[in-house]
């Protein structure tokens, strides 16, 4: 199977480390023009050293307005991988408003925010594209001490389903312009 993304523009959040970094590098190897987003400049610098073709954007995607400006400035995006996420340990009884907001801002609201920009762009240019939301088995099975992470991953799964339903009216007979996917990823240490 020959997979080729030449001429396609991809944006990957959480691309500084782990899964997001691997996705960004692989998409670049497959010919995509990749924009890698991370909130850690040092991670982006090392990614750029590994693959100089990747464009980087240092950004805290938890900031709605600033994220909109930076992502809109990227321009056309054909493939979005919403991979960025945080996971911190606090029980339901310990979770503060700030702790809860931080999880929802990064794990859920940022994916919605960036997806809106990308989907509207695909629709307005009558193009085609895909949005992949990286989720977790924790959206289905909970773990003690991680109620906010689990809740945000359940929310991202439902957001993906909702977006897929709402994009159906833009379907034509030849292709569905926006394909939406939610991938559950489990990392073992």
Listed residue (109, 104, 81) closest to 18, CA to CA? 81
pLDDT in tens, 21-40: 999 999 999 999 999 999 99
> Distance between CA atoms of 111 and 83, rounded to whole angstroms?
8
pLDDT in tens, 68-114: 999 999 999 999 999 999 999 999 999 999 999 999 999 999 999 99
SS3 content of the chain, % helix, strand, coil (to 5): 45, 15, 35
Angle between helices 97-104 and 147-167 in degrees, nearest 10 = 40
Determine the pLDDT at residue 170: 65
Determine the pLDDT at residue 171: 58
In order of 18, 34, 40, 112, the CA distances from 77 in angstroms are 22, 9, 22, 15
Determine the pLDDT at residue 18: 96
Determine the pLDDT at residue 179: 63
* Active site members: 149, 153
Q: Residues 27, 12: contact at Cβ < 8 Å? A: yes
Determine the pLDDT at residue 13: 98
pTM over 0.85: yes
Q: What structural domains does the chain harbor? A: 9-184 (3.40.50.720)
Tell me the pLDDT band of 45, cut-offs 50, 70 and 90: very high
């Amino acid at each position: 199977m020959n997979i080729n993304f030449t001429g396609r523009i991809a944006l990957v959040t959480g691309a500084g480390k782990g899964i997001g970094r691997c996705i960004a590098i692989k998409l670049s190897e497959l010919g995509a023009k990749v924009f890698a987003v991370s909130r850690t400049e040092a991670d982006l610098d090392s990614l750029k050293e590994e693959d100089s073709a990747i464009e980087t954007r240092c950004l805290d995607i938890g900031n709605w307005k600033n994220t909109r400006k930076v992502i809109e400035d990227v321009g056309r995006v054909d493939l979005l991988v919403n991979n960025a996420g945080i996971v911190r340990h606090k029980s339901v009884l310990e979770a503060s408003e700030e702790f809860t907001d931080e999880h929802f801002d990064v794990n859920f609201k940022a994916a919605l925010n960036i997806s809106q920009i990308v989907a509207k762009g695909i629709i307005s240019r009558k193009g085609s594209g895909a949005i992949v939301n990286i989720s977790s088995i924790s959206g289905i099975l909970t773990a003690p001490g991680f109620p906010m992470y689990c809740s945000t991953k359940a929310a991202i799964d439902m957001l993906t389903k909702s977006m897929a339903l709402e994009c159906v009216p833009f379907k034509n007979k030849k292709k569905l312009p926006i394909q939406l996917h939610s991938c559950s990823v489990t990392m073992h240490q």
